[in-house]
Chain A
Amino acid sequence: MEVMLWSAVQAVLNGILTGSLYALVGMGMALIFGVMRIVNFAHGAFMMLGMYATYVLFDRAHVSPYLGFLVAAAMLFATGYLTYEGLLRRVVERSDFMQILLTLGISLILTDGVQLIFGADYHQINIPLLDVNVRLNQHVSLNAPWLVSFGITVIVATAMFWFVMKSRLGRALRAISQNRYAASLMGIDVMRIQALSFGMGLAAVGVAGGLLLPVFYLYPGAGDQFTLKAFVMVVLGGMGSIGGAAIAGVVLGVVESLTSLYWGNEWAVVVDFLLFLAVLSLRPSGLFGSQRV
Chain B
Amino acid sequence: MTRPRALIAAAGFVLCMLVPLVITQDYQLNVLFRVFLFAGLGLAWNLVGGYAGQLSLGHAAFFGIGGYGLALFHGKLGVPIWGALALGVVAAVLAALVIGQVAFRLRGPYFALSTIAFAEVLRLSAKNLTSITGGDVGYQAPALFDDSPSRWFYWSAVVLTAAAFAVTALAARSRFGFWLQAIREDEDTAMAVGINPARTKLRALLISAALTAVGGGLYASLFLFIVPDQMLAIDISNEIAIVAMLGGAGTLTGPIVGAALLETASEVFKNLFHEAHLLIYGVLIVVVVMFLPEGIVGALTTWWRRRNR
Identify the A interface with B (CB < 8 A): 33, 37, 39, 87, 90-91, 94, 96-98, 100-102, 104-109, 111-113, 115-116, 228, 231-232, 235, 264, 266-267, 269-270, 273-274, 276-277, 280-281, 284, 293
CB nearest to A264 among chain B residues: B128
A residues less than 8 Å from B105 (CB atoms): 281, 284
- Chain B residues 54 to 108 lying within 8 A of chain A, measured CB to CB, are 55, 57, 102, 105-108
Residues in chain B near residue A232, CB distance under 8 A: 113, 117
Please give 8 more A-B residue pairs, beta carbons under 8 A apart, in addition to A39-B109, A277-B114.
Answer: A101-B285, A101-B289, A105-B286, A113-B279, A235-B113, A267-B124, A276-B113, A284-B105
Partner of B286, one of A37, A102, A264, A280: A102
Pairs A–B under 8 Å by Cβ, sample size 7? A33-B109, A96-B108, A98-B293, A105-B284, A235-B113, A273-B117, A293-B107
Which chain B residues lie closer than 8 Å to A273 at the CB level?
Answer: 117, 120-121, 124
- Are A96 and B55 touching (Cβ within 8 A)? yes
B275: Cβ under 8 A from any A Cβ: yes
Interface size range on B against A: 35 or more
Q: Is A98 touching B275 in the complex (CB atoms < 8 A)?
A: no
Top 3 nearest A-B pairs by Cβ distance? A108-B282, A105-B285, A109-B282
Specify which chain B residues have a CB less than 8 angstroms from the CB of A266 in the assembled complex: 124, 127-128
Docked-complex contact B110 and A107, CB < 8 angstroms: no
User: Do B128 and A112 touch across chains, with their CB atoms under 8 A apart?
Assistant: no
* Residue B283, interface by CB 8 Å: yes
A contact residues around B178 at 8 Å (CB): none
- Quick one: given A98-B293, A101-B242, A104-B242, are A87 and B124 in contact (CB under 8 Å)? no
Minimal beta-carbon separation of B117 from chain A (angstroms) = 4
For the residues of A in contact with B, the DSSP-based class is helix
Q: Are the CB atoms of B238 and A104 closer together than 8 Å?
A: yes
Q: CB-CB < 8 A to B124: which residues of A?
A: 266-267, 269-270, 273
B249 nearest in chain A by CB position? A97
- CB atoms of A228 and B116 under 8 A apart: yes
With A33-B109, A284-B106 known as contacts, the answer to whether A270 contacts B286 (CB < 8 A) is no
Nearest CB of chain B from residue A189's CB, rounded to whole Å: 23
- Cβ of A115: which chain B residues have Cβ within 8 Å of it? 275
CB distance from A159 to the nearest CB of B (A): 27
Chain A residues with Cβ below 8 Å from B108 are 96
Shortest C-beta distance, B45 to chain A (Å), equals 12
With both chains docked as a complex, state the minimum distance between the C-beta of A267 and any C-beta of chain B, in angstroms: 6
Contact A104 to B285, CB < 8 A, known contacts A87-B290, A111-B278, A228-B116: yes
Interface residues of B, Cβ cutoff 8 Å to A: 49, 55, 57, 102, 105-110, 112-114, 116-118, 120-121, 124-125, 127-128, 238, 241-242, 245-246, 249, 275-279, 281-286, 289-290, 293
Q: Specify which of B110, B113, B284, B289 lies most central, judged by the most chain A CB atoms within 10 Å of its CB.
A: B289
Among candidates B107, B127, B290, residue contacting A102 with C-beta atoms closer than 8 Å:
B290
Q: How far is the CA of A228 from the CA of B121 in the complex (A)?
A: 12
Q: How many angstroms from the CA of A113 to the CA of B249 in the assembled complex?
A: 29
Cβ–Cβ < 8 Å partners of A98 in chain B: 245, 289, 293
CA distance A247 to B299 in the complex (A): 44
Complex CA distance for A267 and B279, rounded to whole angstroms: 33
> Which residues on A sit within 8 Å (CB–CB) of B121?
270, 273-274, 277
Q: Which residues of B contact A106 (CB under 8 A)?
A: 282, 286
Q: Which of A100, A109, A270 contacts B57 (CB 8 A)?
A: A100
B residues less than 8 Å from A96 (CB atoms): 55, 108-109, 112
Q: A96-B109, A112-B282 are in contact. Are A277 and B118 (CB under 8 A)?
A: yes
Return chain B residues, CB-CB under 8 Å to A33.
109
Q: In the assembled complex, how far is the CB of residue B71 from the closest CB belonging to chain A, in whole angstroms?
A: 22
Closest to A115 in B: B275
What is the CB-to-nearest-CB distance from A221 to chain B, in angstroms, rounded to a whole number? 11
How distant is B107 from chain A, measured CB to nearest CB, in Å? 6
Q: A100 with B285: in contact, given A113-B279, A116-B275 (CB under 8 Å)? A: no
Measured CB to CB, the closest approach of chain B to A217, in angstroms, equals 21
- Are the C-beta atoms of B290 and A107 separated by less than 8 Å? no
Complex-state Cα separation, A232 to B114, whole angstroms: 9
- Which residues of the other chain, A, contact B246 by a CB distance below 8 angstroms? 101
- Min Cβ gap B130→A in Å is 10
Instruction: Given A107-B282, A112-B279, verify A280-B114 contact (CB < 8 Å).
Output: yes
A280 contacts across to B, CB distance below 8 A? 102, 106, 110, 113-114, 117
Residues of B within 8 A of A107 (CB): 282
Contacts of B57 in A (CB 8 A): 100
Q: Determine whether the beta carbon of B55 is less than 8 Å from that of A97.
A: yes
Complex contacts, B102 vs chain A, CB 8 Å: 277, 280-281
Query: Taking the nearest CB of chain A, how far is it from the CB of B242, in angstroms?
Result: 6
CA A102 to CA B242, docked complex, whole Å = 10
The minimal Cβ–Cβ distance linking A97 to chain B, given in whole angstroms, is: 5
Given contacts A96-B109, A228-B116, contact A105 B293 (CB under 8 A): no
With A100-B57, A104-B242, A284-B106 as contacts: A116 and B276 at CB distance below 8 Å: yes
**Selected contact of A270 from candidates B107, B125, B283, CB within 8 Å:** B125
> Which residues of chain A are near B106, meaning CB under 8 Å?
280, 284, 293
CB-CB nearest in chain A for B279:
A112
CB pair B278 A228 closer than 8 Å: no
Expressed in whole angstroms, the minimum distance between the Cβ of B302 and any Cβ of chain A is 14
Q: How far is the CB of B282 from chain A (nearest CB, A)?
A: 3
